[in-house]
Structure 1
Amino acid sequence: MKGTSEILEQAIEQLARLPGTGRKSARRIALYLLKQNDESVVKLADALVALKKSITRCETCGVISDGDPCSICSNPKRETGQICVVEESQDVFLIEKTNEFRGRYHVLGGVISPLDNIGPDDVRIKQLMQRVNDEEESIEEIILALNPDSEGEATAYYINKLLKPFDGVKVTRIAYGIPMGTELEFIDEATLSRAFASRNTF
């Protein structure tokens, strides 16, 4: 059934392209925006345009940032000897929320995935190796914080292999296992297996 407004339908079509947004949700959003005053809608539009035009990536670590270098790479209080390797910028934001890591980051911008024709040259592995070779950074530890799926595992294995010749660089990975507050009967076999493999001394 055709809508009563072609302009509304075009807005719904564009909103429906957003991840996790179907046509019903897109219609609700479009109708909600119609009810808002002009100033609110213009602010949203301006924010989206600025997001696309003004946001950049840090040349050093690859994180989405307002400037280059980013606030993390340019912060003299961050530990320079540690680099946490992640898949995407959103992983940096999640780790930063924990206030547990005080080093710096390296965003790969993806993972090795032969099925999707994504090889080592398609992600920022070469730039990571350049940082490890850079005497000014004095890298002592590379922390691999990649997703525990087959692509993440393959990428972690590849990076670890490349770093083997560097005697002064320790390669570690974040522990994977059972989430806090979860009962064992609800844990799948792969997660339980990973928990045993990553066990620590009490």
Structure 2
Amino acid sequence: MEIAQAPATHRLQPGAPSEEDIDLYRTLGANAAAGVAVVATSVRGRDYAATVTGWLPVSYDPPTMLVSLYGESRIGEAVSASRYWTLSLLTGSQQGIANWLASPGTPLEGLMTQVPFRRGEVSSAPIIDNALAFFELETVATHPAATHLLVVGEVRAMGTLATGRDVLDPLVHFGSAYHRLNR
């Protein structure tokens, strides 16, 4: 994979960014390795889930996390409408799940029929089986940010479902592709 070289400093002009600005931002932003996770919730008996790399722990006291969701996406709208949601950190062996839930045009009905999961005890939202770690969260704040919605949640339950070698094998996104730390 070849990474585009940018000048030492690329200044953006005031106003809307150009396509060149957006492309360079995407290229440079892809240089940050990020853990791959699934955000999920249930609204009116329907499950919603999507693959995300824009998440982070915010505070340990109380345990709080943040996720960035495209504001006009089904998952963005569903998490906004729901009080509770889950974040499941994926293992290297779960790349297929990451691909499925990141695909545009996944079906609204039956989205989770291809994904092994269990229901959270607090949230009743899907938690991906064999997740490296999972968190059940209650939304405490939402903040619009450009095209995205930043959702802050306090952790209400957490744990791990990974076993064996998967415990040391997180799925990582880097350079616009998925990678495993252990094979």
The structure with the largest alpha-carbon Rg is: 1
Bin the TM-score by the shorter chain. Answer: under 0.3
Structure number with higher relative contact order (C-alpha < 8 Å, ≥ 6 residues apart): 2
TM-score, normalised relative to structure 1: 0.23
Structure with the higher fraction of residues in strand conformation? 2
Structure with the higher fraction of residues in helix conformation? 1
TM-score, normalised relative to structure 2: 0.25
